[in-house]
Copies of this chain bind each other. A is one copy, B any other.
């Protein structure tokens, strides 16, 4: 038995800690879970956690940075998959969002939840998330311009309101089919481009 337990993935502790934190944050909330529980769930201990992260707040920020990184990579990938089709990118993004929201019931976007749980405007995670939201909105605005909307700012805000609203609405049961209706509404919005500049099909 030289190999202790290879059942556990051989991921380095740092990434196991972030993965465990992501899981616990989602189920119990960021402030509802202690560092000890995170370390234990990661199959390690508090000391190792503090060797990799200066503080719990920094761990939270790093966890948020990972989510942001993946989200922006997905935007990039989507733009590459639909070249010269800004409307298609927006439509496909709404489709993916709806699918993701249907998968994880309750607890909408952990980025939004983190903003709600961390009111301190100087919290490292908060600035990470807000900067991401600004970049994302600029990207959406650019897409709306490329899609040829007559009022890109208005339509960019419409898109953002719909997407963020969907993330919020999953927390409240009772609103049925918000996922399908989200893509229907975005598709309807996209169909309204009067000058379908660079629309391929």
Contacts and interface: CB of A to CB of B under 8 A. Distances in A.
A153 B181 CA distance: 9
Interface in A154-174: 154, 157-158, 160-169, 171-174
A68 interface: no
B165 A161 contact: yes
A53 B117 CA distance: 24
Nearest to A31: B31
Nearest to A110: B116
Interface stretch (A44-52, A79-87, A126-134): A126-134
A185 B169 contact: no
A175 B161 CA distance: 10
A200 interface: no
A121 to B, nearest CB: 7
A182 B161 contact: yes
A117 B116 contact: yes
Interface string A121-145: 1000000011001100110000000
A153 B177 contact: yes
A130 B173 contact: yes
Interface of A: 27-29, 31-32, 106-108, 112-113, 115-119, 121, 129-130, 133-134, 137-138, 153-154, 157-158, 160-169, 171-175, 177-178, 181-182, 184-185
11 contacts: A29-B31, A29-B119, A112-B168, A113-B117, A115-B171, A115-B172, A117-B117, A133-B174, A134-B174, A157-B177, A164-B164
